[in-house]
Structures are given as C-alpha cells and as structure tokens.
Structure 1
C-alpha cells in the first residue's frame, strides 16, 4: 500500500486547488490542477474535473491551525466562504491515517481537509488521478485501500 499511496501523493503535491464543489448531501469535491469541462451522459454540463480530484462523501472537516473552520455537520451556509478561501492554495501533503484509512490533505494556506467516518461501513473518500489514461482512483472497500481503473 505504501507504494500505491506514494503514486497519488506525487500526483497531487504541488497542484493548485482550482475548484471546490458540493455533491449530493454533504459530499464535497476538490478539483486540483488544470480543469476540464465535463458533461453528463445526456449532454448536460456538470462541474469541471481537475487533473486530480478528491471526493469525501460525508464526515469531513476543514481545519486551520488549532481550530475547525467547518465540517459536514455544520449548516451548509458556512461552507461556501470557507470553500472560497481554499481556492488556489497548493496541495502540500496527502496522508492516510487510522486503522481504517482516512485521508488528510494539507494546503499551502495552512488549511487541512480531513475525512473521519462516523457511521458503520468504510470511510467514504476517493482520490481520482485523471492525469493519465486510463483514469485511476483510490478508495476503501471492506476496510482495505484499493485502486480501481476506468475501462
């Protein structure tokens, strides 16, 4: 697993956070690097995707120094100003931590985005490497970190 996470760390570190968007419920998406336009299967536009993406479905927080700025349990009206403050910061760290792997992403502006699942099942995060073909992603299934690839 060490080599696998190193691949994703090397792809992410140094990229600018270009776009932050909200998915369904409290899911957040972080898009790093050059953005590409994307469409749904029906042709409708969707949020652009970066060279590298992060999805945290729920149970996440954004930290700065010694405080939590906001998290998935906060009223979502607090999220947009915090998301805006993240844009254009560079990714400087990617860590996996805990018995069941959670992620922490450090940014050049001192912020950290951290996952921390609080419900049964697996941690609900995915790292997307779209910088080469086929696209590949890292996630947790049945308590194990694994990589999948598009076909």
Structure 2
C-alpha cells in the first residue's frame, strides 16, 4: 500500500503557496507550485490550479506561532488578509494527526493550516496531485486514507 502522505510531503516540500482562495461556504483551497488557468462551465475564468492543491471543505484553522490566526468559524472579514499571508510561503511539511487522519500543512514562518472536523463523518480534506497530466486525489474515507 502506497504511503500517500509521504508522496505529498516529498512533492510539496519546498513549493510555495501560489494561490489561496475561498470556495463555497467556508471551503479553503490552497494551490502550490506553477499555476494553470481554468475555465468554468459557463466560459468564465475559474480559479487557477497549482501543480498540487489542498482543499478543506470546512472545520479548518490557520495557526500563527502560538495562536489561532483564524478558522472556519472566525469572522469572515479576517480571512482575506490571513489567506494573503500564506501566498509565497514555502511548504515545510505535510502530516496527519489524530485517530481519524486530520491534515496538518506546515509553512515557513511558523504558520500551519489544519483540518479539524467537528461534525459526524470523515475529516473533510483532499490533497490533489495534478502533475503529469492526470490528477490523484487523496482524502479520508471511513477513517482511512484513500486515493482516487
């Protein structure tokens, strides 16, 4: 069985956060490495995609040193400035924690992005590897890491 976290750790380490954006609701998207433009179904430009990506649907937080800078339940007015702080920072590590695998993305400057599901079901994060023309998506299903 492939160690998907080791795969993403090796692929992401040293890449910069190229784009950070909010999806529907409180979904957080981070794009790493070179960006590729996208087009929505209606023909309008979409958010660019990185070589690698991270999506946390909800229940996330961004830790700054010894405090929580903001999270999915914070005042949304805080988000844009905190998201902007992430852009340009290099990835230092990707790991999981907890009995049900939550994701921790560590960035230079002692900033960390953590998934932290607080509702029933699985942790709601997905890592994307878009290198090589395809896309590998890894997340948590039934408490286990799975690739699609």
Measure, in 1, the Cα distance between the counterparts of 2:13 and 2:2. 16
**Two-structure CA RMSD over aligned residues (Å):** 1.1
- Tell me the TM-score normalised to structure 1 length: 0.94
Measure, in 2, the Cα distance between the counterparts of 1:33 and 1:53. 9
Measure, in 2, the Cα distance between the counterparts of 1:112 and 1:104. 7
Whether 2:126 is the aligned partner of 1:126: answer yes
Name the structure 1 match of 2:24.
24
Name the structure 2 match of 1:66.
66
Pairwise CA distance, 1:64: 1.3
Deviations 1:104-142 (A, max 9, x none): 000012100000100000000000001123210101112
Measure, in 2, the Cα distance between the counterparts of 1:131 and 1:12. 11
Deviations 1:53-84 (A, max 9, x none): 00000000000111000000001100111111
Measure, in 1, the Cα distance between the counterparts of 2:133 and 2:139. 18
Whether 2:84 is the aligned partner of 1:90: answer no
Residue aligned with 1:69, SS: strand
Name the structure 1 match of 2:75.
75
Query: Which stretches of structure 1, 4 residues or longer, exceed 6 Å deviation after superposition?
Result: none
Name the structure 2 match of 1:102.
102
Size of the aligned set, in residue pairs, is 148
Any stretches of 5+ residues in structure 2 without a counterpart? none
Pairwise CA distance, 1:2: 6.5
Residue aligned with 1:96, SS: strand
Considering fraction of residues, name the structure with more strand: 1
